[in-house]
Structure 1
Amino acid sequence: MRPEKDIFSAPSVNSLTGIISLVKTGQEYLLTLGIDDITGIIDKVSRSWSDRNNTLQQRFGSSGLNYLLYWFRKKHLSQIIHNSLRTNRKVLDSFCETTGIPYKLKANPRGIISHWLAGNVPMLGMLSLVQGLLTKNANILKVPRQNGEVIPLLLNSFNGVVYENEAGVQIHGSELIKSVAAIYFERDDMEAQKTLSLHSNVRVAWGGMDAVELVMNLPRRYGCEDVIFGPRTSFIVIGKEFLESYEQAKTCASRSSIDASIFEQQGCNSPHTVFVEKGGQVTPLEFAGLLGDAMAETLKRFPKGELSPGDTLKILNLRTQYDMMGEAFYPSDMAWTVLYGEDDTGLATPCFNRTLFVRPVDDVMEVVDYCNHLTQTAGIALSEKRRETFVSQVTARGIDRCPDLGAMSSYDTPWDGMFVVDRFVRWSKL
């Protein structure tokens, strides 16, 4: 793995070819490990991140690292594999019987997985990387210029960590991580882009439309699998039955504020628009005020980083616009913003940085028409019967996930409509 200080020294095509060779050699150790060995060492590394004295915890604890602490637990990783691979994680080690199939199956690594990562939420790249490790593939991460040092620092934390399995065999993080490389090259370095693409058995692309289309349009080898985590938006729907008292509405506001504060709304599962149904004891406008109060409370749990001048100007313009033509709730600084327009309709254009648009609807079923392949998650507060009807219709239009409020930020399985682990393996039958 390239050290942090060298991460922005863009490799030549020749050195990139050498890096590819190194991770393939490193994969040989990975292939000797059982799946429980791999989940065990990842679990132990993630537990080291939880130490308050850990430099990674001090630096990234409030910007996504603490979410990974749960996601990388051995029990959770084992459950992901169970759900993704025909209910038997051992198919990653050998031919096994699986539920409902009259023959044995084995899930083989595809080879080299190349991950093109986004700069806005670099932590998310660890989610696809770890699933690449679980499936015993070699992995190359093309990091962005923005926050490009995050992944190398996390990878370096594997060094020195040793996990001992039930048989007393030691698994060394430093050896496992030799199957991974973090590299950087400029977006317009098309020779490097093509070289990486042509050596990939799986291409994973995170980011906006321009970023993922660049990867998709690169030449690729026959049989290469593409896994896209592209631009999508998410929203919240609150039915009038959850607005029958201020206490009930405060609970919804509190949970919504958590969803909007994780990752600064940079994830595709982050809500930007909050649709509030009319007819409850608490009006949509009153709910917007409660949501502002909740955002202030949540800020104490999830501190906010610095804004760029451009983001600051964008938020200030929106605040001014809604102060004149609607209602705006915000503190004296730029920590959060809640905007309400009585005549606003449809999905708001995301502003990010804890900016929420509250929009009234006569009936929550109006929201169905706003759903398509570019909408991912709908956070829902509806009665059981109404929820069933709503979910049935929005998932048919393109929505992939319909969690309760407060759980929108959970990266679960399936994700973006797919079992990612299954996309990283090639099946053999015995």
Structure 2
Amino acid sequence: MDHVETPIRETGSSRQGDATAPLPVPHVYRGRTVSGDAVAHVSRDLGKGFCTPAVELDDLVWPRTQPGPAFDLPIAQVTDFLVELGPRLHLDVNPLMQHALKSMIEVSPLGHRILENCYRDIPNLFARGVIEDELRVSFGDASVIDGWMPRTLRGRPSRLRAFPPRLVHILAGNSPMVAAMTVMRAALTKGVHLLKLPSNDLFTATAILRTMAAIDPAHPLTQSFSAAYWRGGDENVESILYRPQYFDKLVVWGGESAVRHAMRYAGPGLELVAFDPKISISLIGREAFASDELLQQVARAGAADVQSFNQDACNASRYQFVEGNEDDADRYCEYLAAALGKDFRYGDGQGPVVPNDIREAVDVLREMEPLYRVFGGYDGKGLVVRSDERVDFHPICKTVNVVPVQSLSDATRFATVATQTVGIYPPHRVAEVRDALACAGVQRMVTLGESISDGVGGYPHDGMFPIHRFMKWISEEAGQHA
């Protein structure tokens, strides 16, 4: 592959300084960028107008009568291309990523600082070590994706292949990392991929795909991706695209409504792979109270887990269980409320204000002290409610419910199949709760303060290894080959 730097130019993106003009959102059809303003839309979170080309359904599918462009590309060449792509995505050198960041600010509630941090971290997902770990853990022997790997079971010879799939990825927009992670994982399958853009991240995926085209527009990986926006639930598009004659699986990220909608189309020949909506919790052992200085450090770690994308990510802590009495919990709450007012890499000290329904519920609890105690305020700098049992509202916008428990083992009763990540302090005490948490349905346990990670490089995600799950595992048992 030619490693000479290819100029990247952003075209058709100027709005001539008109802040009221709709944002132009291009599509990518099998590596080819298509611009246009045929269809007007409004973004979900910030209500920003944007326009897209008309959806060309024929350009969004790859016929099953022929293999996808990268089906027979050696995985070593896939890896080399992705490793070359990583540095090309650096914000300081890539005008496409710069334009994506500028445009994202108008549709994403995360704000410039967090979005910029995300964009600066995206190249890390394409590091060779990350990719090699993904392959090793997903496949064991990567030759199983390059061809038909011979094996013998109970004396009978056969051949196995992890065959490249045809996937629709219904992306979530609560973090730009979702789009980058999807492109990296999808490329490693060597399949063909349609990315359905979310209205709160219309630009990250296409900026990455257009950078791939700038490296080599004819590369098999470049031609293995399409990306487009249509309103979620548009049956004129989805009833045609979401069919087994075109795709093998629907990979859906997002909230319950998005997953349930995708389930309507799943059936024989079209499988659903869901990164379900989740919540996360924290367990704080009595060791945290050894000194005020240590307790402040632990509270800052607890706040870091709350702050994941301003508490809009599945790994964001919403309920924290403190091993101690109410006085101990209240001391922790004071420090936690203060720590929530500080900036973190993916969280703002001044976040979105607490919505009215939570405010009204907490106002009622304020009248019930000392059974409940409230720390912080409604101004987006952090709100903490201490109670003997979990509150009956869903904590969002940097709202945390702290519950005192007699032991960390006692806290495991609050974990469910909807619990994704559990942050634990001190970390060595995970051994006494990990089996109970796993039985309850928890999928990930980390040291308190470390809930935010790239989620790739060989780690499972939502109880599975995604690339392994994406593949079509084919067995050929036609007897002994000569």
Verify same fold: TM over 0.5. Answer: yes
Q: Specify which of 240, 243, 252 is matched with residue 205 of structure 1.
A: 252
1:133 aligns with 2:187: yes
Q: Identify the residue that residue 430 of structure 2 maps to in structure 1.
A: 387
1:17-32 alignment, distance < 5 Å: 17-21=58-62, 27-28=68-69, 30-32=70-72
- CA displacement, residues 43-98 of structure 1 (integer Å, 9 cap, x when unaligned): 3333333444645366577233344333332211210221121x222322234579
Greater shift in the superposed pair: 282-291 or 314-323 = 314-323
One-letter amino acid matched to 1:118:
A
SS in 2 for 1:231: coil
1:294 aligns with 2:339: yes
Q: Identify the residue that residue 409 of structure 2 maps to in structure 1.
A: 365
Q: Identify the residue that residue 45 of structure 2 maps to in structure 1.
A: none
Equivalent residues of 1:201, 1:225 under 8 A apart: yes
Q: Identify the residue that residue 439 of structure 2 maps to in structure 1.
A: 396
Deviation at 1:186, TM superposition (A): 2.2
Q: Distance in 2 between matches of 1:306 and 1:22?
A: 50
Equivalent residues of 2:337, 2:384 under 8 A apart: no
1:408 aligns with 2:462: no
Distance 1:378 1:347, change over 3 A: farther
Deviation at 1:133, TM superposition (A): 1.2
How big is the alpha-carbon RMSD for the aligned residues of Structure 1 and Structure 2? Answer: 3.5
Q: Distance in 2 between matches of 1:252 and 1:403?
A: 14
1:160-309 alignment, distance < 5 Å: 160-161=214-215, 176-198=221-243, 199-218=246-265, 220=267, 222-278=268-324, 283-297=328-342, 299=343, 301-302=345-346, 304=348
Distance 1:78 1:143, change over 3 A: same
* Larger proportion of helix: 1
Distance 1:4 1:369, change over 3 A: farther
Q: Distance in 2 between matches of 1:396 and 1:306?
A: 37
1:54-133 alignment, distance < 5 Å: 54=94, 56=97, 59=102, 62-63=114-115, 64-85=118-139, 87-96=140-149, 105-110=160-165, 112-121=166-175, 123-133=177-187
Distance 1:374 1:155, change over 3 A: same
- CA displacement, residues 292-344 of structure 1 (integer Å, 9 cap, x when unaligned): 333333x16446399778x654565566556555544447952x313122x34
Aligned residues: 409
Unaligned stretches of 5+ in structure 1? 163-171
Distance 1:209 1:31, change over 3 A: same
Deviation at 1:283, TM superposition (A): 1.6
Greater shift in the superposed pair: 413-422 or 248-257 = 248-257
Distance 1:379 1:306, change over 3 A: closer
SS in 2 for 1:372: coil
Q: Distance in 2 between matches of 1:154 and 1:318?
A: 43
Equivalent residues of 1:3, 1:152 under 8 A apart: no
Equivalent residues of 1:288, 1:338 under 8 A apart: no
Equivalent residues of 2:168, 2:194 under 8 A apart: yes
Unaligned stretches of 5+ in structure 2? 1-27, 40-50, 103-111, 477-482
Distance 1:219 1:392, change over 3 A: closer
Q: Specify which of 34, 37, 61 is matched with residue 77 of structure 2.
A: 37
TM-score, normalization: structure 2?
0.74
SS in 1 for 2:242: helix
Bigger CA radius of gyration? 2
TM-score, normalization: structure 1?
0.82
Q: Distance in 2 between matches of 1:423 and 1:249?
A: 41
Q: Identify the residue that residue 424 of structure 1 maps to in structure 2.
A: 470
Greater shift in the superposed pair: 96-105 or 263-272 = 96-105
Q: Distance in 2 between matches of 1:372 and 1:173?
A: 47
Equivalent residues of 2:395, 2:401 under 8 A apart: no
Q: Identify the residue that residue 200 of structure 2 maps to in structure 1.
A: 146
Greater shift in the superposed pair: 90-99 or 150-159 = 90-99
Deviation at 1:194, TM superposition (A): 1.8
One-letter amino acid matched to 2:462:
D
Q: Distance in 1 between matches of 2:298 and 2:350?
A: 27
Distance 1:268 1:302, change over 3 A: closer
Distance 1:75 1:24, change over 3 A: farther
